[in-house]
Copies of this chain bind each other. A is one copy, B any other.
């Protein structure tokens, strides 16, 4: 049985994060030692590794919750799991497309900066006037962050 610190180290997840996952019900309540410290076995370890890997792939905690509840029902069709993964793939592809456009605009901005005064700075100018920008970000509902 591992204490929370060892588990975190093994899974690459910080201790407060593990407690947070328990709090929101992603991990079951851990067993406790006589001194009230959390103890984890192999099952908890695997579940945490699953969560972390899915987080690394950008799945939201909600999606992970769904995937975990699916993985508890091995006899059902995996269509739902497939759908979640496909949605995630679509999300990643759209972010990728947006980021690629962003990158080229930023590159143009940076290259054009001749190192003079602010008044002549292309960075400021391009940001101030959307029409100087080739790319169209008219209604991006998706976040650029994360």
Contact = CB atoms under 8 A, between A and B. Distances in A.
A16 to B, nearest CB: 16
A50 B128 contact: yes
A30 interface: no
A118 B56 contact: no
9 contacts: A54-B127, A55-B144, A67-B123, A70-B124, A75-B118, A78-B118, A82-B121, A85-B110, A96-B103
Given A82-B113, A89-B103, 15 more contacts: A12-B142, A49-B130, A53-B128, A56-B144, A57-B105, A57-B127, A58-B144, A75-B117, A77-B117, A78-B115, A78-B124, A82-B110, A85-B110, A86-B110, A93-B103
